[in-house]
Structure 1
């Protein structure tokens, strides 16, 4: 078991079929921290409004988070665009057990830097009220892509091939997607500079990253739909993006049987981001 000063995870999308809940349960079982930030889109209210989907594995994730808070982990839930229905309750100082719910937070890093912790939808031009329909359309297309990817990986598994992400490949090779990511990161850095933050920790775009942008430290946690990534802060001030690779059988069985699979008995592997 690994223990960290802080763990940041985002974009779990509980309530959607794309959520890798079993992998997340394994990760949380093997990795603990003094502080845990849930950086938005934890519950996928958009998908659940269209069709109810909540298997046992998603309840298990919630239980692990609540248990961590009960055992002393300082847990903060940051609201994102998919769980924006919670923003209406912020004036009541919303709490889930021992978990504080916030629109944003400030994290004082062991490295001496002051970080803004926010989901990131505020920096996305498509989240404007007059453009939000485009975001919802894109969300539907993304979920279709995930469905195609699941079927494709069933075939790949039968051919003895490794798991492969169609969506991740398209993001990395599409110029428009790359321009959007760079624009998003630039908006985050500009905001931090104006507000006096040394850096920002966010999610939203499902691309894990750590880099400096004109003197501002930008960190993105990635997601738990495809990438299965977490941003961790070590006690000595080091930062690391962890790519969680569950046992191959877990991914294969999930693609074939859905969420009704037993707990994997083989330890998962962690691959530090390059």
Structure 2
């Protein structure tokens, strides 16, 4: 069923891919996501894992009204005809016990094959099963999670200062991760392994999340797409009705007056025939 846009300000897509929202974490930018969902409609929305952060909720319960608003917004879209598929990640792994189940119109699946409008087949999964640290050294993963919380806390302070100075949002944690990624060489290896999994499944590409690094690129003939996150970069992947994939970065604040809201910054509009690395855009 096609969802008809209610306003000329609303963009309509065939599919939206959203991951790593981390509801339950103080770093989750629920306001940004609500605003994004208000301005974007799709026939299908795929939630690519870590939408709810069970790890943090176990340590310290944090669930403000904004998190309920995100949940209700998605359920409302489902009631109006949007197909919503939830692929659990490692932070919301409790949902992996319910593959094939429906909750309020939301389907739960371990992974799916998504056939795009141009005929390309994409393996869609969260990606944590290819993270050696998460799979084989959970205590290290938890320590890394704690360090990430610290970086996010610094990020909150930076954001508040920049907001008071009238400067645009800038992510300290994303910048810090970018500085060390060459040394640890984790992101590149993760991408190669996930792309190879797509090849083993007979797919033309893969769409995943997990590492909070949004990109559309080509790896050895396989299209690799990562939807990023909603704690640092506020990104999503949108499939147009012709199969073109677009990486959108959303930098609006739902609570701000309309006249103060910057226009959506579309980092990358990629035609599937011309693979581009989003980092180079």
Give TM-score scaled by structure 2 length.
Answer: 0.87
Deviation at 1:160, TM superposition (A): 3.8
Give the conservation status (yes or no) of the 8 Å contact 2:113–2:123.
yes
Give the conservation status (yes or no) of the 8 Å contact 2:48–2:87.
yes
Equivalent in the alignment of 2:137: 131
Equivalent in the alignment of 1:272: 266
SS in 1 for 2:264: strand
Equivalent in the alignment of 1:254: none
Matches of 1:39 and 1:231, distance apart in 2: 11
Matches of 2:46 and 2:170, distance apart in 1: 28
> Does 263-272 or 58-67 show the bigger shift?
263-272
Equivalent in the alignment of 1:23: 32
Equivalent in the alignment of 1:100: 107
Equivalent in the alignment of 2:278: none
Matches of 1:112 and 1:225, distance apart in 2: 32
Gaps of 5+ in 1: 251-261
SS in 2 for 1:137: helix
Give the conservation status (yes or no) of the 8 Å contact 1:26–1:268.
no
* Residue-by-residue CA offset, 1:112-150 (whole Å, 9 max, x unaligned): 11111100101111122x411111111111111111111
> Does 210-219 or 156-165 show the bigger shift?
156-165
Equivalent in the alignment of 2:273: none
Equivalent in the alignment of 1:42: 51
The answer to whether the aligner puts 1:63 opposite 2:69 as a matched pair is no
Matches within 5 A, 1:70-85: 70-85=79-94
Gaps of 5+ in 2: 1-9, 268-280
Deviation at 1:190, TM superposition (A): 1.2
Q: Give the number of equivalent residue pairs.
A: 258
Matches of 1:52 and 1:25, distance apart in 2: 21
Give TM-score scaled by structure 1 length.
Answer: 0.90
Matches within 5 A, 1:1-274: 1-90=10-99, 93-128=100-135, 130-176=136-182, 179-247=185-253, 262=255, 264-266=257-259, 269-273=263-267, 274=281
SS in 1 for 2:241: coil
SS in 1 for 2:250: strand
